Amino acid sequence: MKYLVRSFKYFAYLAIMLCIFIVLLSLFGLVGSSVDDIFRDGANSLWKIAGIIAVFALIYPRLGFGTRNALVPGSYEEIRSGVVDVMHNRGYVLESEKGEDLTFRLQSPVMRVTRMFEDRITFTRTGTGFELEGPVKDLVRIASALESRFRPE
């Protein structure tokens, strides 16, 4: 279900961005002012464009969200404050803590809106550290930061 919600959000986001782009082009006089002037097939092009946007919206959540493992040695009590500190330095705030599992959200409301509120990163405790779940581009950076912070000398 989460996948479908993300797909719908990205469809709406891409459609809105395309509309804003076309309106700006029209306002600056770079394209015509009617749908028939802007697109080769006129209104029929809108269905094609919606289909292309739908394909991208269906693919992106599969590529943009995932899991990564971070090797973080030590007991939970020893590393908890360091993990929270690393996340705070990256602009995240602790949302919830259930046992040894942590959930973080972005602190900045502007950043949360630009990511369509899909900014949650979940830390699930494993035997060797944590399994991180969330936006892949953030997971790579966070896993690297955690591993360098807790790397044994």
Residue 151 has pLDDT above 90, yes or no: no
Per residue in 1-52, pLDDT (tens digit) is: 888 999 999 999 999 999 999 889 888 888 877 788 788 887 888 899 999 9
One-letter amino acid at 46 equals: L
At 150 the pLDDT is: 87
Residue 152 has pLDDT above 80, yes or no: no
pTM (two decimals):
0.78
Q: How far is CA 33 from the centre of its chain?
A: 34
Residue 53 has pLDDT above 90, yes or no: yes
Tokens describing residue 4 = 């479908």
